[in-house]
Chain A
Amino acid sequence: MDYKGDIYYIEQVLEGKINAFSYIVDQHKNKAFNLAFRICGNHEEAEELAQDSFLKAYRALRSFKMKSSFATWFYRIVYNTTISHVRLKRKGVLSLEDFPADATDFIGANTNEEEAEKEYRNSLVNFALQKITDEERGLISLYYYEEMSTDEIADVTGISKSNIKVKLFRARQKMQEIIEKTEKKKLIYHE
């Protein structure tokens, strides 16, 4: 069945057809889960946070102004829910030693070298993400994974566009440093 657009299903829900909300959940669940996961770094927590965000969105659906984008409004809920959660539950600082040396550590029974390399890079990015601040993690996720513009990020986070650029620049620098250090460690490991 073709998705008829967020507004169509929102109107259905507001008319009392609760089940119409499942189409909205289906449409946005992966992005919501992905954003929550990139910020909190844990699958179980990300699932709970994404579910919580959908519940919050459902409860606040009447306050949603149909003229604006539902996706932006909803991602603001996901972002705020996740950021509030991780701020309450801070984790210990990860050491570079915590990260596997290279892609061979990611080769499983059904993976080839190329897939293992992809998995390694993805894990390396997730590792680097956990070493920057909660807010920076959110911004990097929205910019690189959700591929949002700085204007859209400003709508979601409530941070000014100029401030986003500065924060993104710093976050990017931090992540590059972490990635470079880890890659150097990989070279030393192989020598």
Chain B
Amino acid sequence: MNNQEKYKEDLLRQYIDPEMTEDAPIGFTSKVMTQIQLESRPFPAIHKLREKSLVPLISASVTVLLIAFAFLIPGNESDSLTSPFLNLFNSLKLSVPAIDLSSIFRVALPSVLMYVFLGIFILTVFDRALYRIFHREK
């Protein structure tokens, strides 16, 4: 900044007096507080937030358990704990009609793939529905 600019800045300072403030009118605080009390509810208590975060917490726990379960299921063995589930999956495989995807895709894909996509789609729809329910308050 050269001297001329500095001079000019000082010139503006001669006119601008920071002490020359425009104070808020009398009763300003009470007006704001009346509006706040009329328009707003108190902030939601922390336990409500905890309730809200409980659903995703349970969902995440169930997902983690299922994934862990899938890893823990022995490949060939069938013990008393896992055999009912394995039998259920085996019976599902037999009961659902096989969809031939070879006409659509050149590579050989498992026939259950369409059911997997269908399942993902249904879960996505549920997820959107739940999201709307839990974000309605905003």
* Chain A residues within 8 Å of B, Cβ to Cβ: 13-16, 18-19, 21-22, 25-26, 29-34, 37-38, 43, 46-47, 50-51, 54-55, 58-59, 61-62, 118, 121-122, 124-125, 140, 144-147, 169, 172-173, 175-176, 179
Contact = CB atoms under 8 A, between A and B. Distances in A.
B72 interface: no
Contact of A176 (B12, B31, B39, B45): B12
The secondary-structure label for the interface of chain B is helix
29 contacts: A16-B43, A18-B33, A18-B40, A22-B33, A29-B28, A29-B32, A30-B21, A30-B24, A32-B24, A43-B25, A46-B22, A47-B24, A50-B28, A51-B28, A51-B31, A55-B39, A61-B43, A121-B15, A122-B20, A124-B15, A125-B16, A140-B16, A144-B13, A144-B18, A172-B12, A173-B8, A175-B12, A176-B12, A179-B12
Interface string B6-40: 00110111111110111111001101110111011
Contacts of A169: 5
Contacts, number: 97
Given A122-B20, A179-B11, 13 more contacts: A16-B45, A18-B42, A21-B33, A22-B29, A29-B29, A33-B22, A33-B25, A34-B21, A58-B36, A121-B14, A144-B12, A144-B16, A176-B12
Contacts of A38: 22
Contacts of A46: 22
B20 A118 contact: yes
Nearest to A119: B20
B15 A179 contact: yes
Given A29-B29, A33-B28, A176-B8, A51 B35 contact: yes
B90 to A, nearest CB: 51
Nearest to B11: A176
A123 B43 CA distance: 43
A49 to B, nearest CB: 11
Contact of B32 (A15, A25, A140): A25
Contacts of B16: 125, 140, 144-145
Top 6 closest pairs, chain A to chain B, by CB: A33-B24, A29-B24, A144-B16, A16-B42, A37-B22, A25-B29
A167 B26 CA distance: 35
Nearest to A19: B33
A148 to B, nearest CB: 11
